[in-house]
Chains A and B, each alone.
Chain A
């Protein structure tokens, strides 16, 4: 009975600049069904949502292949406005609410009910006066559908976070003809009890015949409310199963499951071991919005490559940023038994650590400056290298000659494709920009290298090169590398151990050859793994 599907996707494929992010996705959602969509970061969930909602980014990047059907009718959704008209509502991850407006005003934003008057009859509907009683009436109706009572006239600014989420939902269901609601990780910002209410409200809505597409990381929520579960991995649909056939373990395994391609890595003379620690993090807390670290403990062995993995928002990104002084942190960090000052990048750098940030263009580079300056500037500032005395005593200037010869050497060693040391890095490709970032870090001659998302946004060939380079640095110079990545595959490929972060803490440390199931469960916070040797 294909007619009973509210939404049907058939063979959706989407390319972004030559990389395929969605491959032949087909899924269908029935009226009154809660359909969960799960997958790791980068699995393609948000692209799929943008596509359904007709976000401009899809069309600006060349559209997609495949068909979308709403109520059995083939549709071509080109704008969010059209998606709304088709009865698709979206509950955004970030709140789209105006704090200075009342609940009613927010729910009715740009869909206000109004009454005609003398002016509007001459100058058009823009001058119709707002009909507050009618709007409040609608609002309380929508709230009732959610099983909720909020004073419609109170300002959103004064509401607790959980309520804002409900106001968002109320706005969507107040739109007439709404048939399909998309929830994009709605529980990410909620407390546990608020999340429970939300799940209840979702069930309530489904019972009223609205189809719900529910995107989440939290597997227990999936098990708690969904009817159907679709799992995405690397832009491909792994499977669609009904909840009765699913178990938490099974989903976790399907989400992660990949063939392990661990190449033979060069051996070391002495393998890293627990008796020789280079770094110790005790009770580390980092206030990085969206990636909070809470009371994290971690011991790093000298000379190892330690991977840090975990789902987005769990705090893995926050660790390096906190230790290196980019975000406010507290707790204790010891390198070789010496405590390092937190919130002080200079001290971190001078203690022999370097950082290649996940935000390459935001933190890693001076995009309009030359390759040479990008590579040497941090060393000039933190270690006073590349300076020569000037005429005046005590004044030292940048030594352009040695900077140039050093940069040429780096360009050669790291195979940076460019016109020369003076080319601005803006013009380089993503992979070559990343190499400049690495060169910047290597120039500091660090004992410990923190590197986050080393291969994000660069093409396949460059990915391999970057990973090889890391292994080479580790083996040849004994550089301890702590690599944070959302891509479990690359962690499993080169790391000695992988620490998985959940809710700002290390949930477990696994060997790279541990089973997919184990990785899946630890990442989803369903299991804590003992540290392995």
Chain B
């Protein structure tokens, strides 16, 4: 029977090629690491301050950045729609603030309340993205703005007119619309200090419980990708047509991916805000998508490939830059704004470059 044995050629990569591939994937994070190093030297920051700042930001932002991974693997690209998840999280926060439930129970309740909202929003997002196959990113991007309009309509106009809410702490003095900023002192650092209390390691504040939650999320994501559902998502991400022919329900799989991402984004926003301790009702969510996406890309992810490590390294590098660039600008040129503008230039620029490279490579194929 084995008379037709065909010897298989060796498609194995040589060591050189492996190294090339590794360097190719690492070039972006390496470049930004170099930039960070320059910034740190130029800014001449107190290392203790810098490390503390970065630890805080790692706890604050990682969850949000991790929420981007699954849609990428399912072929939906960068989910600019996590802004919508953030809105769901904030809605839950407004509710618990109104109910005056604070501390860890309050925060946990917010996690719970955010689920129905984010599942609904994620489902709607998924439905719309399924109608815009091939331009998911621009669609989710615009959806973020659109949802922002609806969010403002609800909380700025409908509160006090259609939605009866009489809470002087929350509502503006005119009786219509929520205040611009809401104090979250009741749940401030509720998660960071949960179970273990404020943890200090030498001079450094460690948001220990939050870091544990992030670690758990990493485990959950890698578990998910090893399940049948994860395999389906990867298949859809590679080729929708082939997945469909193999009997996978492509649209449903894509919607599930978006729902998971939206729920995670809602939770991520809650973690973000409990750390900060106050929130701008109408602005806190706006930059979430852009900053998270920039961080992920700086970590070496592309529009079709992202890992947990990309997310974590990205948060580390992006936020180091975030901290050092204004000071570096101040010290190098005497104008602190230069550093700030340079920072947003980098964030926008990295996204533009990633998008361009993605389209470029797609076209070459």
Number of A-B contacts (CB under 8 A): 87
Contacts A98-B238, A110-B232, A110-B246 given: A130-B226 contact, CB under 8 Å?
yes
Q: A197 interface residue, CB < 8 Å from B?
A: yes
CA A449 – CA B288 in complex, angstroms? 60
When distances are taken between beta carbons in the complex, the residues of chain B under 8 Å from A159 are 11
Asked if B3 contacts A147 (CB within 8 A), the reply is yes
- Once the chains bind, are B242 and A112 in contact (CB under 8 Å)? no
- The proximity string for A residues 67-103 relative to B, scoring 1 for CB distances below 8 Å and 0 otherwise, is 0000000000000110010000000000011111100
A201:B4 contact, CB within 8 angstroms: yes
Chain A to chain B contacts (Cβ below 8 Å), 7 pairs: A109-B243, A119-B227, A128-B227, A144-B1, A149-B5, A151-B8, A204-B4
Q: Is A197's CB under 8 angstroms from B6's CB?
A: yes
Which residues of chain A come closer than 8 Å to B216, judged between CB atoms? none
Check B11 against A80 for contact (C-beta < 8 Å): no
Residue from A99, A119, A147 in contact with B238 in the complex, judged by beta carbons closer than 8 Å: A99
Q: Considering the chains assembled together, what is the distance between the CA atoms of A163 and B11 in angstroms?
A: 12
Least CB separation from A154: chain B residue: B11
New A-B contacts (7) at CB < 8 Å, excluding given A99-B238, A126-B232, A144-B1: A96-B245, A110-B247, A110-B248, A120-B227, A148-B6, A149-B5, A154-B11
| CB <8 Å contact, A130 and B228 | yes
Residues of chain B from 219 to 265 with CB closer than 8 A to chain A in the complex: 223-224, 226-229, 231-232, 234-235, 238-239, 242-243, 245-248
Give min CB distance, B267 to chain A, whole Å: 18
Q: Is A15 an interface residue (CB 8 A)?
A: no
| Bound-state Cα–Cα, A200 to B245, Å | 27
Mark interface residues in A122-141 (1 if CB within 8 Å of B CB, else 0): 00011111100000000000
Q: Are B1 and A204 in contact (CB under 8 A)?
A: yes
Q: Which residues of B1-31 are within 8 A (CB) of A?
A: 1-6, 8-9, 11
**Interchain CB contact (< 8 A) of A127 among B2, B5, B227, B235:** B227
A149 cross-chain contacts in B, Cβ below 8 A: 5-6, 8
Q: Does A174 contact B (CB under 8 A)?
A: no
The answer for the CA separation of A80 and B4 in the assembled complex, in Å, is 31
- Chain B's interface: helix, strand, loop or mixed, by majority? helix
Q: Which residue of B is nearest A108, CB measured?
A: B231
How far is A216 from B227 in the complex, measured between Cα atoms in Å? Answer: 40
Q: Are A127 and B229 within 8 A (Cβ)?
A: yes
User: Contacts A97-B242, A129-B227, A130-B226 hold; do A200 and B248 have CB atoms under 8 A apart?
Assistant: no
Residues of chain A within 8 A (CB-CB) of B226 are 129-130
Contacting A200 at CB < 8 Å: which of B4, B223, B231?
B4
Expressed in whole angstroms, the Cα–Cα distance for A126 and B256 within the complex equals: 12
Smallest Cβ distance from B359 to chain A, in angstroms? 19
Contact of B229 with A126 in the complex, beta carbons under 8 Å: yes
- Would A98 and B235 count as touching, CB distance under 8 A? yes
* Chain A residues closer than 8 Å to B9, beta-carbon distance: 160
Residue ID in chain A nearest B236 by CB atoms: A98
Whether, in the assembled complex, A41 has its beta carbon less than 8 Å from a beta carbon of chain B, the answer is no
Task: Assess whether A158 is interfacial by the CB under 8 Å rule.
Answer: yes
Residue in contact with B8 in the complex, picked from A109, A127, A147, A163, CB distance below 8 Å: A163
Across the interface, which residues of A come within 8 angstroms of B235, CB to CB?
A: 98, 101, 109-110
Which 3 A/B pairs are nearest by Cβ-Cβ distance?
A158-B11, A147-B4, A126-B229
Q: What 0/1 pattern do residues 125 to 139 of B give for CB contact below 8 A with A?
A: 000000000000000
Q: Mark A144-179, 1 if CB is under 8 A from B, else 0.
A: 101111110011001110010000000000000000
Residues of A contacting B246 in the complex (Cβ-Cβ under 8 angstroms): 96, 109-110
Smallest CB gap from B224: residue in A:
A127
Q: Give the distance to chain B from A139, nearest Cβ to Cβ, in Å.
A: 13
A203 to chain B: closest residue by CB: B4
Classify chain A: how many residues form its interface, as a range. Answer: 35 or more
B227 touches A130 (CB 8 A): yes
In the assembled complex, the CB of B65 is this many whole angstroms from the nearest CB of chain A, namely 23
Which residues in B have their C-beta under 8 angstroms from that of A489? none
Contacts of A119 on B, CB cut-off 8 Å? 223, 227
Q: Which of B5, B224, B247 has the most CB of A within 10 A?
A: B247
A112 and B228 form a contact (CB under 8 A): yes
Interface residues in B, total, Cβ within 8 A: 27
Most buried by B among A98, A128, A148, A149: A98
Docked complex Cα distance between A100 and B242 (Å): 12
- CB neighbours of A129 from chain B (8 A): 223, 226-227
Question: In the complex, A130→B222 CA distance in Å?
Answer: 12
**Of A84, A97, A114, A155, the contact of B228 (CB 8 Å cutoff):** A114
- Asked if residues A130 and B4 are in contact (CB atoms below 8 Å), the reply is no
Q: How far is the CA of A147 from the CA of B1 in the complex (A)?
A: 6
Q: Closest chain B residue to A97 by CB distance?
A: B242
In the complex, per-residue mask of B69-81: 1 if CB is within 8 Å of any chain A CB, else 0: 0000000000000
Residues on B with C-beta less than 8 A from A80 are 245, 247
CA distance A84 to B242 in the complex (A): 16
Chain B neighbourhood of A81, CB < 8 A: 247
Q: Does A105 contact B (CB under 8 A)?
A: yes
Pairwise interchain contact B238-A100, C-beta atoms closer than 8 A: yes
Contacting pair B5 A128 (CB below 8 A): no
Per the bound structure, the CA–CA distance linking A35 and B1 in Å amounts to: 22
Tell me the smallest distance from the CB of A153 to a CB of chain B, in Å. 11
Taking the closest CB of chain B, its distance from the CB of A178, in whole angstroms, is: 15
Alpha-carbon gap, A96 to B226, bound state (A): 22
Q: How far is the CA of A105 from the CA of B233 in the complex (A)?
A: 13
Tell me the nearest residue of chain B to A81, going by C-beta: B247
A390 to B48, CA, bound (A): 74
Give the residues in chain B near A163, CB-CB below 8 Å: 6, 8
Residues of chain A within 8 A of B11, CB atoms compared: 154-155, 158-159
A147 to B5, CA, bound (A): 6
* Contact between chains at A105 and B231 (CB < 8 Å): yes
B294-324 interface code vs A (CB 8 A; 1 in, 0 out): 0000000000000000000000000000000
Q: How far is the CB of B242 from chain A (nearest CB, A)?
A: 5
Mask: chain A, 192-203; 1 = CB below 8 Å from B; 0 = not: 000001001100
Residues of B within 8 A of A97 (CB): 242
| CB <8 Å contact, B248 and A98 | no
A160 CA to B10 CA, complexed, in Å = 10
CB distance from B258 to the nearest CB of A (A): 16
Instruction: Check B227–A114 contact: CB distance below 8 A.
Output: yes
B229 to chain A, nearest CB (A): 4
Residue of A nearest to B9 (CB): A160
Kindly state the separation between the CA atoms of A146 and B1 in the bound complex, as whole angstroms: 8
Cα of A201 to Cα of B248 in the assembled complex, Å = 29
Residue of A nearest to B253 (CB): A126
Report B-chain residues with C-beta under 8 Å of the C-beta of A114.
Answer: 227-228
Complex CA gap A126/B234 in Å reads 14
Tell me the nearest residue of chain A to B248, going by C-beta.
Answer: A110
Nearest Cβ in chain A — how far from B233, in angstroms? 10
Q: How far is the CA of A163 from the CA of B10 in the complex (A)?
A: 13
Measured between alpha carbons, how far is A96 from B238 in the docked complex, in Å? 12
